[in-house]
Structures are given as structure tokens and as C-alpha cells.
Structure 1
Amino acid sequence: MLNAIGQVIDLLGLQHEQFEGANITSSEALHYQPADLYQRHKNLLPHTQYPAKTALWRWYRNHPIFTSSIAENHLVSLNEIIALYLLTWSPELWELVNIPKDVDGLTSANNARWQNEWQHLLGFKAGLTQVRRFMAHIPVYMMFDDHDVTDDWNLTAKWELAAYEHAFSKRIIGNALIGYTLFQGLGNAPDKFADEIRPLLDAFFAQPQSESQDLLIDELLKFEQWHYTLATSPKLVVLDTRTRRWRSESNLAKPSGLMDWEALMDLQQELLGQSKVIIVSPAPMFGVKLIEAVQRTATLMGASLLVDAENWMAHPGAANALLSIFMHRKTPEEFVILSGDVHYSFSYDISIRFRRSSPNIYQITCSGIKNHFPEKLLPIFDKLNGWFYGHFSPLNLLTKRKRMSLRGRRPNGAPSKRLVNKSGIGILELADDGAPTKIAVLHGDMSETLFEPPKQE
């Protein structure tokens, strides 16, 4: 894909940019020949520049800022990001791109990767015309998560300090936000960008310069209006869980809350007076408790980045504020929460314990279109989660969500299974009162997994 991106930059004459704090001075120094690929994590991406207090900690000075384990072809320049978005949606552009099947200059392992990726890109190209036609005939709204920018984006306050105090990593993150704004954000809620962002965006593209690019990036990093709502029935509330985070007060290396106090209060105001609502939260608000417990253990050991330890319950303040919103008596009677991110699918029916007029809450998670969880590991987590945190388990009383009652839906009626480890696209059908009548996942082989409601007690 990076080879195709390089060709598009040349074909369209996309603007180059100057870099500060990088091993190269300009995006013109980026190369896209096969021999130059699969190398960016080694000689291009930024590293930390912390002062070395002792010889023991000196190794951390050059630790990679970006924590993705597959950053060999991480995009860095704005013209690369623009080319990627265009290739995602333009079948015509692919007709002008020629990616060779057999190339020289790669190691045997990377040559095997090239052959595999070449095959997949041909399949992507073949289906793109139909996908674009389909998407053009339905309303389409987007919301970023970390992989729209970089893996683990803003996961901890310590990650933020390293990323935003380094000129090159800040530019890479900012370029991704410019791309998201152009190709997704402006389409979601254009009025939100009219006063602050749109003039800077127009000025930069009218006369691209480093100063105007940095100014635009600074404003995008301060921007607090990425979230949006739609006046549909049910009302649709789409959350930004990446840029308004509740940073840990006790340890900068601990996971941040996915939304800070002010953002959560804004959410509550959107919900008051509504009888039914759909909330889009990139990460599940109610996740698999056992996996969250493993993430918490890893956090206590200082390895939060290793296990992607970000969930709504990871930060006490954010968790308690979120649960208080659901228990507020003026919030909707029907909550549907749509999520992804975790690389497996599941659905919970949730109510508040010991309350007669509890709202009906449905956590619906479909993830992902491509990725899935390690095949052998997820069934073990699924079974152990049922043993330790099943509906009747007393261990639930020791968790932050102890006042919530969770019942897992059964995929295709499987009696002891709740998690589905197969990529696909979620299907949700709602009744007039906002309650789900069908929760399912349509898979690439055209099979369907139906999440059947839990049995009544």
C-alpha cells in the first residue's frame, strides 16, 4: 500500500513538507521502492528524548514513541495520508497505479509479506467500485479511534508527554488529524469547524507552508468538538473518546479515562429528556470483565501499553461518572451502545440492580471488519469470564459496576459461549421504542451470527 501511496503522490503532485526533529529534512526524502519499505520503525519514526538520569535508565532515552508492534510502514507526511484516503475511495486512481508482484531488494521474510499483501490489494481493488456505490446510497458517518492516527493514541499521560514534546511525532499526529478532518470530520458536522478550523484549513491549502501547517495542527490538537449528535429517533450520540481524556492523577503511566469530567457532563446533558438513544463509543462501555482484570494486572506491573489497557473501567473517576449517568433517573429508558475496537464481538443486556424502573441498556460490540483476537486465547477467556463473572457470580459485587446486572447474549444459541471471534459487520434492527429486535454480525463468507436474548429468570 505504501508503494501505491508513493505513486499517487507523484501522479497528483501532492505537496511536500519540511520536517523538524527527524532524520530527514523533507518528505521529498521519503522513498517508496520495495527495498526501502518495512524499515520505518528502524530509521524514521521518532524516539523519546528523555534526559537519562542514571546509566540504568539510559536505554529508555531512545525508546520508540509510537507503540504499534507493526509500524514498519507507518505513514508520516500529509501527502501520504491524503493519498491513502484517496486510494480508499477511488477505483479510478487504482487504474493508474501499478504494483509489481515480483520485486528485488527485500529479505526473504519481507518478500513473502509483499506477495501476500500484493494478493490482498488486488482483492481490495476488485471490490472497491461496488463498495463505493453501496456507501454512496446510505448515510455514512465516521468517528476516529487510535488507528486513524497511531496505535495507543493518548493512552496514557506519559505517552502524550513523549509524543507532543517531540516536533516530529507531533507533526505525524497532526497530519493524521488534518487528513481525518478533510475526509471524515467535515462530513460529520461541518458547522462545528466553520469558525476555528475551516479558515486555517483553507489558508494552509491555499499556500502550504510549515508555519501555517503547525498553526493548523495546534488548533486541531486543542479542538474539542470532534463529537456530534444526530437528531434522529432514537437520538444518535457519537463520542470522542480520544482527545478529551481524564489523565491519571496518581501515575502518568496509568491509562487515562476515555473522557474527562467535562466531556462526561456534556454527554449527560445530551441524554437528559430523551426516551431512547444510541451511543457510539469506540471502546465498549461494558466490556469483558476478565480481560479488563488482566489489563488492570498488567497496568499494576507497568505494562499498560503492552496489553492495550484502555477501557471505561480502567480510570476510577471516569468509570464512576459514567455509571452515575446510567443510574440518573432522568436519562433515557432505552440505551443502545454501539462499539468496536476489541477484535471480537459480543452483546450484553444490562439493567440496574435493585431498581424496579431500570433503563434497558444494550452493549453491542462488533469488531472488527478485518482483525480478530488470537484464536486459541479467546475461548479460554470466554469460558473463564463465564465462571468468574457470570450473571450470578458474587465476584461481580467486587467490581466498579457492581450495581449493574449484565446478561450476555448467546451467539446462535450456544449455551456456554458469549464471544465471537470472526470478523464481520454488525446488523442492528430497532423497534419503535428503541429496543433492539435483532443483533447480528454478517461475516465475509456470508454466514451470520445472531445474538439471541438471554433467557428470562
Structure 2
Amino acid sequence: MTQQKLAKLLAGPIVRRCTDDQLNFWLVTDRNYQIELTITCDNDQDFQFCQVLTPDSQQTIQIGERAFVHLLTPPLEYIVLEQNLNYQLSFYLGDDKQFSLSDITTLHYGDKPLSFVVKTRLNKVLHGSCRKPHFDSEDALIQVDEQIKASLDEPESRPALLMMSGDQVYCDDVCGPMLNAVHQVIDLLGLYQESWQVCQSTTNNAEQAIKDSSQLFASEQGYYQRHLFLPQDQVNHGLWAKLFGASKQPIFTSVNAKNHLVTAAEVFAQYLLTWSPALWQSVDLDKTDHIPTQFLSVYHDEKAVLERFISGLGKVQRALAHIPTYMIFDDHDVTDDWNLTRAWEESAYQNAFSKRIIGNALFGYLLFQGWGNAPDNVKLLIEQIPEHFGDGVNTHDELIDALLDFDQWHYHLNSVPKMVVLDTRTSRWRSESFAGKPSGLMDWESLCEMQQELIDQPSVILVSAAPIYGVKLIETIQRIFTFFGKPLMVDAENWMAHSGTANVMLNIFRHYKTPPNFIILSGDVHYSFVYEVEHRFIRTQSSILQVTCSGIKNEFPARPLSILAKLNTVLYAAYSPLNWFTKRRRMKILARKPSVKSDGRLVNQSGIGLLNIESEQEIGTQLLTAKGEVVDFIPRAKTERD
């Protein structure tokens, strides 16, 4: 890849939270420009906004010598709904204009201005999760670009929003070429360095030598061998430990942790390389002198896959500049199995090094994802950053503590249907009886708070990173591994794994004030399916539709999924007596049939989901595959007539 002059626009713009009273635009630039924002509407000549933004409406966080993250929130008297809103950004240093978005032709659809639509009625929703750059498939986020391009001049037909429900980045699973690019970007932008404490009682010998960014980047184990210096802990819990004895185990459990990101700068650089093509023009992936010889073959194989990902980033950047976009984390946005069990939390947060690694990933999530979801929720966190993070600032740990203590990552939209986005990672229902047992995805307090958002709503879209109703056979296998004290071996993470969380959630669904029309959007599992759910023995009539779409650029191993899906169909069909031995005895779950050949009605292809809400009774569900095919999930009523 030929190196070129450093771009001025490093990432974005991404249209973020857009409601009837607030607009937000997110972007990253190489300098701290004053930004002029212009917004117009072709169908409403009275609606015009043109202003050089003030610090109140242009919030900026510096993360390096040449890297500034901005969130723009223009002060508007009113917002035109359901119409194309055109916008333009111009960038100034003093009185001198440096560039405008109109100069970047790849952001535009032909000669059309940048535009978006603010919809209060969510008639079309794009959704997905799990986008791993080096997974060997096409990037389904490009299908968002195709959807926008096809409906650009028809605001009523444009998707209302894009919801990404977890694993937008993989901090724990990074390929060698991406890590190489990350380190080049850190140098190009002068991203801030850091140092950390090392806990001698739980360390590897290799870890003892690495105490700051410069030592990490210079380490011989910095590529494909990071698992050798990641922190470890003594494991003394579970039936396995009782039978075979305690052992020293890695705190970070990802099987692909050989290039696990460590510093905040590494996390920031990966986000920039994941959202935008701009910095790839200044990166040379053929620069491999520092890659250990024994890993060069793997490196070149990964490079071939990654280059296909890079080739589509122009369309991804263009799409995100044209649609309101929302996000929520899952585990890989931080690390695999993040907060899975009480034992994991005790090990991870009592070790200064692992706590820093987790905190840095959460810091990246705040700046690159969480900030734009609900800016008012995170206002106090954002205000703390300049005090604790910067060139020569040594209070990084205080910022990490604030991030780990924060409990307002969840948010909602007052749309129709109302959209409620859950944080299933940081407010967990921990097991008091056994530290190695999977925690409930949400604790009592957060579930009660969720219920308050649902009460008396006619319809709701509930966003959960993991499916609430999973593939039962897979959940049963996870339960068996949990019994033997090995939940981390099978990612034993589902809503039914903790009886407290499961019972409260199911009781909420059966409550007479819960919305009668319920849509659940989920991801995580790396295959897609649609369930229609009816709860038995309740006084009210409710309709629950769960749409699981995963991954955007990831898939489940094909052979094992095929076997599990077929067995699940036999053992846990809708009328199977085995359901009476599970929590499903009080519900009826029917899977919508995909329009393509599938295993047990599970579709194992990278894709993006499309939800079409014609009415409360007519909800279409499609998977737009990364290859450009459309898979319809046929509603049960139509299937029964066939």
C-alpha cells in the first residue's frame, strides 16, 4: 500500500443520535478546526441553519498530537421530520478555510449533497452485530450503503436508523496486519502514550518487563505472542479445580488473544481504521521487519483478507454519513467473556494491568461509540477526560475508575415504536453461591429500570446484545459445561443461564402492563434466525418477535452449527415434551422459515438485518447477506398456509 499525505478528515462524519429535538454528528480530524455546519431542507425553505459552532455545540477531545474527536450538536429551534436534510461541514483555522466535506467526493452519492432523515416512526430499521475485519467473508455493512443509495431521493423509503448491537470492533481478536497498521497510525497521529502498574503476584515473567507503551511496542512478543505477557490469576473454584487442582490461568480468555490490544492509543487507532479508509492511505502493510519470521506466513494470509475489508471502507464511511446510527457494546468491544462470572470480575479488576486493558477498551467505546448514542448520559464522563488523559498527564487510572463505575450506558429513543437499548455487560446479577457460575446479564435494579421504560407502551423495540430466546440445545450444552466449572470454554452466556435474571425477565414479558407488541433485536451468536413467541397462561394477549442478526462480518463454524441445528429441531421443536423440563414450558416458540435452504431455520451467512414495520401486525424480517442476496424470514401464518 503506497503511503500518501496524512488525511485531514481521519474518520466520519457519522450521523449519530437524531430525534425531534437534537441532532448529533461525530468525526475525527487531524487538527482542532473550527467547524461551520450548514443544514437545509429542499421541501422547507424556512428551515436553514448555518453557523460556526461554539464550544457548547462543538465538543472536542484531543487524543494525540494530530487527532481530535468531535461531537457536533447544533442549537436548532426546530427539526424538520420525515424529509431529507442536507448538510455540509467546512473546517477553519482562524479565518482561513482549510477544506469542506464537499471536497471529499467519495463521501457523496454522485453530485448529491450529504443528507439524512429524522424519523420518529421506525418503519425500516437496519441492524446487525459482530464485524471482525479479518474474518474471511465480505463486509455486510456495505449493504447499508446499497440501501441508502437505492432510496436516496425518497425519504419515506429510506431506513430510519442503523442499530449495531455489539462487537463493532474486536479488541481481543486482532490480526497481525491490523496491529501493524495500528502502530503506524499511533506514530502518524502522535497518539498519547501511557504507563501502568504491574501486579507481581499475578504476573508472567514476560509481563514484568513491560510497564509502558514504548516497551510494549518494542517487545519481541508484541506480535502474535501477547498472550505470553497478559496477566494471569490463580484459579481455585469450580468442580474442575476440586477434581484436578487449582492452576494459573490467563485472565483474558479469548482463544485469539495473541494480538490483544492493550493501550488506549491502540484501541483508538483500531477504531479509526475500522470506520474509515482515510488512514489506510498512509499505512504500509508490507513493512514487516518487526514481525517474527515464524509468523510471516500467517501474516500474509491475514493481509489478503484484510485488504478486501479495506477496499469496502469507502462505502461504509459514505453510508454512516447518511443514516442515524446507534451502537451498544458486547464483550469483544472490550474483551471476550467480559464480566461473564463473578470469579472473572474478581480476577480482572484486582489486577492493575488487566484493569487498565479493560478500562482502555471502555474508554475507546465511550469516545467512538457511546458518546453519540445519548450525549447527555455521558456528559460528565466526557468532561473528565481532559483532566485525566493527555500528553504528560499521569492520572489515567482515575479516568479508568470513573469509566468502570459508570452505570448509564443504556439508553432509549422516544420513537414509534419506542426503542430501548440494554446494557447487558456492566450491571450483572452475580452469583453469590458460586463464583464460577455465569452472572445474569442484568441485575434486579437494572431490570426494574428497564420495566419502567416499557410500562404502558403500545409497542417497543428492545435491543439486547444476546438473544433472549436462544437455540435451546446450545443453551443446554452451555449449562453442562457450567456445571463442571468451565463456562468460559463455551461462552456460557445467555439470558436463561441465571435463574434470577431469567425469571424476572420472563415475568416482565407476562406482566399485564408490558407492551402487547414486542420486537427484540439481538446478535452475538454469528448466525441469524427469527422467533415468534407466545407466552402461555397469561391474562393478556401479547406478541413477541425476536430477530437475531449476526454477524456483519463473522459466521459460526458451518459443520458444528449444522449438526446442532438439526438436533435442536428434533429435541426442542415447538411441541416437544422436552420443553416442559425448561423455562419454555410456559411459552410457545416458533421459528420463521428462511426463504433459502438452511439448517434448522438458522442462516449462517454474514449479513445485515432489515426490519420492515408496516403495522403492529405486519412486520417483515429480512437478512441482506454480504454477497448481496436477500433472505426473507416468512411469517408463521404464511408458513402454516403453505
Band the TM-score falls in, shorter-chain normalisation: over 0.9
Could you say what secondary structure the match of 2:622 adopts?
strand
The 1:101/1:229 distance shift into structure 2, 3 A limit, reads same
TM superposition shift of 1:50: 6.5
TM superposition shift of 1:120: 2.1
Report the AA paired with residue 255 of structure 2: S
Per-residue deviation, residues 230-287 of structure 1 (Å, max 9, x unmatched) = 1111000000000000011221100000000001001110000100100100000000
Query: Does structure 1 conserve the Cα–Cα contact (< 8 Å) formed by 2:562 and 2:599?
Result: no
Q: 1:146 aligns with which of 331, 338, 346?
A: 331
Tell me which moved more, 134-143 or 394-403.
394-403
Within the alignment, does 1:15 sit opposite 2:202 as a pair?
Answer: no
Q: 1:201 aligns with which of 377, 385, 396?
A: 385
Query: Does structure 1 conserve the Cα–Cα contact (< 8 Å) formed by 2:528 and 2:549?
Result: yes
Per-residue deviation, residues 359-387 of structure 1 (Å, max 9, x unmatched) = 11011101111221121111211111111
State the match for 2:31 in structure 1: none
Query: Does structure 2 conserve the Cα–Cα contact (< 8 Å) formed by 1:336 and 1:364?
Result: yes
Query: Does structure 2 conserve the Cα–Cα contact (< 8 Å) formed by 1:428 and 1:436?
Result: no
Where do 1:317-336 residues align within 5 Å? 317-336=500-519
How many angstroms apart in 2 are the aligned matches of 1:64 and 1:19? Answer: 19
Relative CO higher for 1 or 2, CA cutoff 8 Å, sep ≥ 6? 2
Tell me which moved more, 401-410 or 154-163.
401-410
TM-score by length of 1: 0.93
TM superposition shift of 1:34: 9.1
- Cα RMSD (Å) of the superposition? 2.3
How many angstroms apart in 1 are the aligned matches of 2:186 and 2:420? Answer: 36
Tell me which moved more, 370-379 or 148-157.
370-379
Within the alignment, does 1:253 sit opposite 2:430 as a pair?
Answer: no
How many angstroms apart in 2 are the aligned matches of 1:156 and 1:268? Answer: 24
The 1:208/1:55 distance shift into structure 2, 3 A limit, reads farther
Q: 2:266 aligns with which of 80, 101, 109?
A: 80
Within the alignment, does 1:305 sit opposite 2:493 as a pair?
Answer: no
The 1:192/1:388 distance shift into structure 2, 3 A limit, reads same
Per-residue deviation, residues 375-405 of structure 1 (Å, max 9, x unmatched) = 1111211111111111111111111132111
Report the AA paired with residue 204 of structure 1: H
How many angstroms apart in 2 are the aligned matches of 1:265 and 1:104? Answer: 52
Per-residue deviation, residues 174-227 of structure 1 (Å, max 9, x unmatched) = 0011111011111001101223x122113123565332x111111111111000
How many angstroms apart in 1 are the aligned matches of 2:541 and 2:597? Answer: 28
Could you say what secondary structure the match of 2:551 adopts?
coil
The 1:387/1:432 distance shift into structure 2, 3 A limit, reads same
Query: Does structure 2 conserve the Cα–Cα contact (< 8 Å) formed by 1:35 and 1:105?
Result: no
Q: 2:479 aligns with which of 285, 296, 301?
A: 296
Query: Does structure 1 conserve the Cα–Cα contact (< 8 Å) formed by 2:533 and 2:589?
Result: yes
How many angstroms apart in 2 are the aligned matches of 1:105 and 1:7? Answer: 13
The 1:381/1:234 distance shift into structure 2, 3 A limit, reads same
Report the AA paired with residue 384 of structure 2: L
Q: 1:31 aligns with which of 217, 221, 226?
A: 217
How many angstroms apart in 2 are the aligned matches of 1:184 and 1:83? Answer: 14
State the match for 1:394 in structure 2: 577
State the match for 1:69 in structure 2: 255
How many angstroms apart in 2 are the aligned matches of 1:416 and 1:73? Answer: 34
Report the AA paired with residue 449 of structure 1: V
State the match for 1:106 in structure 2: 292
TM superposition shift of 1:437: 2.7
The 1:322/1:208 distance shift into structure 2, 3 A limit, reads farther
How many angstroms apart in 2 are the aligned matches of 1:413 and 1:18? Answer: 52
Per-residue deviation, residues 116-150 of structure 1 (Å, max 9, x unmatched) = 22112222222111110111100100100000000
State the match for 1:453 in structure 2: 635
Q: 1:47 aligns with which of 197, 213, 232?
A: 232
Task: Percent identity, please.
Answer: 52
TM superposition shift of 1:36: 4.2
The 1:248/1:33 distance shift into structure 2, 3 A limit, reads closer
The 1:35/1:217 distance shift into structure 2, 3 A limit, reads closer
Could you say what secondary structure the match of 1:445 adopts?
coil
Within the alignment, does 1:115 sit opposite 2:300 as a pair?
Answer: yes
The 1:274/1:179 distance shift into structure 2, 3 A limit, reads same
Larger radius of gyration: 2
The 1:356/1:273 distance shift into structure 2, 3 A limit, reads closer
Could you say what secondary structure the match of 1:175 adopts?
helix
The 1:445/1:209 distance shift into structure 2, 3 A limit, reads same
How many angstroms apart in 2 are the aligned matches of 1:104 and 1:185? Answer: 34
TM superposition shift of 1:436: 5.0
Could you say what secondary structure the match of 1:31 adopts?
helix
| Ranges of 4+ aligned residues in structure 1 off by more than 4 Å | 32-36, 49-52, 54-59, 101-105, 413-416
How many angstroms apart in 1 are the aligned matches of 2:468 and 2:194? Answer: 40
Q: Any unmatched runs of 5+ in structure 1?
A: none
Query: Does structure 1 conserve the Cα–Cα contact (< 8 Å) formed by 2:579 and 2:585?
Result: yes
State the match for 1:96 in structure 2: 282
How many angstroms apart in 1 are the aligned matches of 2:402 and 2:612? Answer: 39
How many angstroms apart in 1 are the aligned matches of 2:535 and 2:245? Answer: 50
Query: Does structure 2 conserve the Cα–Cα contact (< 8 Å) formed by 1:101 and 1:118?
Result: no
State the match for 2:560 in structure 1: 377
Within the alignment, does 1:160 sit opposite 2:345 as a pair?
Answer: yes
How many angstroms apart in 2 are the aligned matches of 1:385 and 1:299? Answer: 20
Query: Does structure 2 conserve the Cα–Cα contact (< 8 Å) formed by 1:441 and 1:450?
Result: yes
The 1:97/1:32 distance shift into structure 2, 3 A limit, reads farther
Query: Does structure 1 conserve the Cα–Cα contact (< 8 Å) formed by 2:192 and 2:390?
Result: no
Q: Any unmatched runs of 5+ in structure 2?
A: 1-177, 199-206
Query: Does structure 1 conserve the Cα–Cα contact (< 8 Å) formed by 2:222 and 2:259?
Result: no
Could you say what secondary structure the match of 2:477 adopts?
helix
Query: Does structure 1 conserve the Cα–Cα contact (< 8 Å) formed by 2:276 and 2:313?
Result: yes
Q: Determine which structure has the larger strand proportion and give its number.
A: 2
Query: Does structure 1 conserve the Cα–Cα contact (< 8 Å) formed by 2:442 and 2:501?
Result: yes
Could you say what secondary structure the match of 1:401 adopts?
helix
Within the alignment, does 1:6 sit opposite 2:189 as a pair?
Answer: no
How many angstroms apart in 2 are the aligned matches of 1:388 and 1:174? Answer: 42
Query: Does structure 2 conserve the Cα–Cα contact (< 8 Å) formed by 1:348 and 1:364?
Result: yes
**Equivalent pairs, count:** 450
Query: Does structure 2 conserve the Cα–Cα contact (< 8 Å) formed by 1:424 and 1:442?
Result: yes
How many angstroms apart in 2 are the aligned matches of 1:334 and 1:250? Answer: 37
Could you say what secondary structure the match of 1:14 adopts?
coil
Query: Does structure 2 conserve the Cα–Cα contact (< 8 Å) formed by 1:101 and 1:115?
Result: no
TM superposition shift of 1:58: 7.6
Per-residue deviation, residues 283-333 of structure 1 (Å, max 9, x unmatched) = 000001111001001111111100000100000000000000000011111
Per-residue deviation, residues 65-97 of structure 1 (Å, max 9, x unmatched) = 000000010000011111111112232211111
Report the AA paired with residue 200 of structure 1: Q
